[in-house]
Chains A and B, each alone.
Chain A
Amino acid sequence: MATARRYHHHHYHFSYPLSFRHHFGSLAVVSAILILVMLQVFHLAEPAASSSIHNISITTLVAASLATLYRLSIAYVISLVISVPLALLITSTPKTEKYLLPLFDIIQSVPALAFFPLLVLLFIRFNFFEGAAIFILVLDIVWNLVFSMVGGLKSIPNDIKAASVIFGAKGFKKLWFVTLPSILPYIITGSFLAWGQGWNIIVVAEVLHNYIPGGNTSSDLFGLGSLLVNSTASGQSSVFLAGLITMVIIIGFLNFFVWQKLIHLTERYKFD
Chain B
Amino acid sequence: MINVGLYHVYKNYPGASKKWALKDFNLEVFQGEFFCLVGPSGCGKSTVLKIISDLEKPTSGVVNKPENISLVFQLGALLPWLSVEENIGFGLKMRNTPKKQMEQSVQGYMEMVGLSDFAKKYPRELSGGQRQRVGIARALTMEPDVLLLDEPFSALDPLTTEGLHEDLLSIWKQTSKTIIMVSHFIEEAVRLADRVGVMSDGSMKEIFDVRLSRPRNIHEDGFLGLTERISKSLGLVNE
Give chain A's interface residues, CB within 8 Å of chain B. Answer: 157, 159-160, 162-163, 165-169, 173, 177-178, 181, 184, 268-272
Contact = CB atoms under 8 A, between A and B. Distances in A.
B94 A163 contact: no
17 contacts: A159-B73, A159-B77, A160-B79, A162-B50, A166-B53, A166-B55, A166-B71, A166-B91, A167-B70, A167-B90, A167-B94, A177-B90, A177-B93, A178-B79, A268-B81, A268-B122, A270-B80
Contact of B81 (A165, A166, A169, A269): A269
A162 B94 contact: no
Given A159-B73, A166-B71, A177 B80 contact: no
A177 B94 contact: yes
A169 B79 CA distance: 12
A168 B97 CA distance: 12
Contacts of B100: none
B193 to A, nearest CB: 22
Nearest to A268: B81
Interface in B27-67: 50, 53-55
B79 A181 contact: yes
Contacts of A181: 79, 81
Contacts of B76: 159
A163 B80 contact: no
Contacts, number: 54
Contacts of B90: 167, 169, 177
Contacts of A157: 77
A12 B151 CA distance: 37
A271 B80 CA distance: 6
Interface of B: 50, 53-55, 69-71, 73-77, 79-81, 90-91, 93-95, 122, 124, 138, 142
Nearest to B75: A159
Given A160-B77, A162-B50, A167-B94, 16 more contacts: A160-B79, A163-B71, A165-B54, A165-B55, A167-B90, A167-B91, A167-B138, A167-B142, A168-B91, A168-B95, A184-B81, A268-B80, A269-B81, A270-B80, A271-B80, A272-B124
Given A159-B73, A162-B71, A162-B73, A169 B94 contact: yes
A272 B79 CA distance: 11
A270 B80 CA distance: 7
A-B pairs, top 4 by smallest CB distance, nearest first, are A159-B77, A167-B91, A168-B94, A163-B77
A162 B81 contact: no
Contacts of B71: 162-163, 166
B139 to A, nearest CB: 8
Contacts of A163: 71, 73, 77, 79
Contacts of A268: 80-81, 122, 124
Contacts of B91: 166-168
Contacts of A272: 80, 124
A123 B23 CA distance: 65
B208 to A, nearest CB: 29
Contacts of B142: 167
B80 A162 contact: no
A178 B94 CA distance: 11
A162 B77 contact: yes
A167 B69 CA distance: 9
A111 to B, nearest CB: 37
Contacts of A177: 90, 93-94
